[in-house]
Amino acid sequence: MITQEQIANVVDLQKELFGKIDSFSREGLDKLKAADSFATIVTGLRRCGKSTFLQQFLKQKQVDFFHLNFEDIRLAGFEISDFVRLSDEIQKRGINTLFFDEIQLVKGWEIFIHQKLNEGYRVYITGSNATLLSKEMGTHLTGRHLSSELFPFSYKEFVGFKKLEYNTESLKEYLFSGGIPEYLKTGINEILNNLMDDILIRDIAIRYGIRDVAALRQLAVFLVSNIGTSVSANKLAGMFGIKAGSTILEYFHYFKDSYLLDFLPMFSYSLKTQTRNLKKVYVVDMGIYSQNSTIFSDNSGWRLENTVYMHLRRQFKELYYFKGKNECDFVAMERGNVKQLVQVCFHIDNMNFKREYEGLKEAMNYFGVKTGIIVTFNQQDRFEENGCTVQLMPAHQYLSEEI
């Protein structure tokens, strides 16, 4: 049980620590959805800047807001009955816009949010777990929430934040440092090590009651170290002391829900086939890869492919890889229509050109698309054949353009 006085003290102390608004504006502020009687929910990787993002949004609208972060240790033990005292504190302050960080830590939170919406409050929520958008909202908040995702800095944001130019030098730096704001401000590597531990312990192990944290961590490090490769839960069964493929598959879901990793399916018009085929694994931030991978080479090719994947992931929810006789890295779709076909190759030469070109052309023919892109580190060219165009594009140009 938390008293109303305790709640008031935490709100006041957090307000002091919340500090001044970050002057660097994030992408997507103009696209954030908000409406009366709907909760606006922003989910994303821990420490990617969700709170700052919403703070900037509300400041733009010149809105005074009531803010409470439920990860505060002083709120440990907060129960559903304590929402009555929280409601009293909100009413006492006379503020109509509510902003909650990680409120999903409290069981029954969705009932409280539903009540606040019915009372006419504007509600904004951040959370570091994608299940905010699904299971826990399926009863009281169905159809009453507008959801958005936030990721670490894109290449464009990275260049703007660091005051760099769009070129191969800034691209190479981004491929290694990633886009976690706190890390870019400080350069302290331990921030990225601690971030991965926080995700594994707080967002996964504690949340889902996983006792063998060592096995969980070993599996996570293995997947982080193997970005761009196909993975199978059944083939990994028996590794790291995890005997069942079904358990590993559950862990895959947890990694995805916590925004640590993402899994790319192979395209098929059959959902059953999509589910059965191998998925490729990608990490959500390259800084996490740099500091937690067991691969000690530069691995620039996989870094570039992962970075292009995240560029597409920020803009599309329907993403696949294509596999026929050859392979195409990325198929970006919107409502079932192909928007972009992308092949990634760090450096095109006589040894790999045919493989990359034929893989892209096969996908173009399969989907009936006339244009395709091969993203490289610094090469540029253009090929036209039978009314189709394949463009070779340097990554710093591709990543700086909105699709």
Domain containing residue 352: 315-403
> Is the domain of 12 the same as that of 146?
yes
Say if 274 falls within a structural domain.
Answer: yes
Question: What is the pLDDT at residue 68?
Answer: 97
Rama region for 385: left / alpha / beta (φ>0; ψ in -120 to 50; rest):
beta
Residue with structure tokens 């606006």? 40
Q: What is the pLDDT of residues 350-372, one digit of tens each?
A: 999 999 999 999 999 999 999 99
Say if 310 falls within a structural domain.
Answer: no
DSSP symbol at 200: I
Average pLDDT, stretch 308-313? 98
Question: What is the pLDDT at residue 270?
Answer: 87
Over its C-alpha atoms, the chain yields an Rg (Å, rounded) of 23
| CB 53, CB 26: distance < 8 Å | yes
Checking if the pLDDT of 274 tops 90, the result is no
Question: What is the pLDDT at residue 20?
Answer: 67
**Sequence-separated (6 or more) residues with CB below 8 Å from residue 381:** 391, 392
Predicted confidence band at 135 (pLDDT cuts at 50, 70, 90)? Answer: low
Which tokens sit at 143? 């159809």
Nearest to 28 by CA among 64, 8, 52: 52
Domain boundary among 236, 264, 298: 298
> Is the domain of 134 the same as that of 182?
no
Predicted confidence band at 133 (pLDDT cuts at 50, 70, 90)? Answer: low
Backbone angles phi, psi at 355, to 5 degrees: -60, -50
> Is the domain of 191 the same as that of 294?
yes
| CB 2, CB 83: distance < 8 Å | no
> Is the domain of 138 the same as that of 161?
no
Average pLDDT, stretch 91-96? 97
> Is the domain of 325 the same as that of 290?
no
CA distance 145 to 27: 21
The CATH number of residue 80's host domain is 3.40.50.300
Nearest to 255 by CA among 136, 128, 126, 105: 128
Average pLDDT, stretch 113-136? 87
Helix (H) or strand (E) holding 371: strand 371-376
Q: What does DSSP say about strands 327-334 and 337-344: parallel, antiparallel, or unpaired?
A: antiparallel
What is the total count of domains within the chain? 3
Say if 307 falls within a structural domain.
Answer: no
Percent of the chain's residues with pLDDT above 90: 88
Predicted confidence band at 138 (pLDDT cuts at 50, 70, 90)? Answer: low
Residue with structure tokens 């353009």? 401
| CB 238, CB 273: distance < 8 Å | no
> Is the domain of 250 the same as that of 160?
yes
> Is the domain of 158 the same as that of 244?
yes
Checking if the pLDDT of 137 tops 90, the result is no
Domain boundary among 298, 325, 340: 298
3-state secondary structure (DSSP) of residue 160: helix
Say if 308 falls within a structural domain.
Answer: no
Roughly how many angstroms between the first and final C-alpha of the chain, as a whole number? 50
Task: With both helix axes pointing from N to C terminus, report the angle between 168-177 and 155-162 in degrees, rounded to the nearest 10.
Answer: 110
> Is the domain of 121 the same as that of 159?
no
CA distance 100 to 116: 12
> Is the domain of 143 the same as that of 8?
yes
Give the pTM: 0.95
Average pLDDT, stretch 362-383? 98
- For the ranges 14-28, 63-77, 170-184, 193-207, the lowest mean pLDDT is seen at 14-28
Say if 94 falls within a structural domain.
Answer: yes
Checking if the pLDDT of 186 tops 90, the result is yes
- For the ranges 23-27, 314-318, 346-350, 353-357, the lowest mean pLDDT is seen at 23-27
> Is the domain of 87 the same as that of 222?
no
> Is the domain of 121 the same as that of 39?
yes
> Is the domain of 21 the same as that of 143?
yes
Say if 305 falls within a structural domain.
Answer: no
Domain boundary among 96, 121, 150: 150
Checking if the pLDDT of 148 tops 80, the result is yes
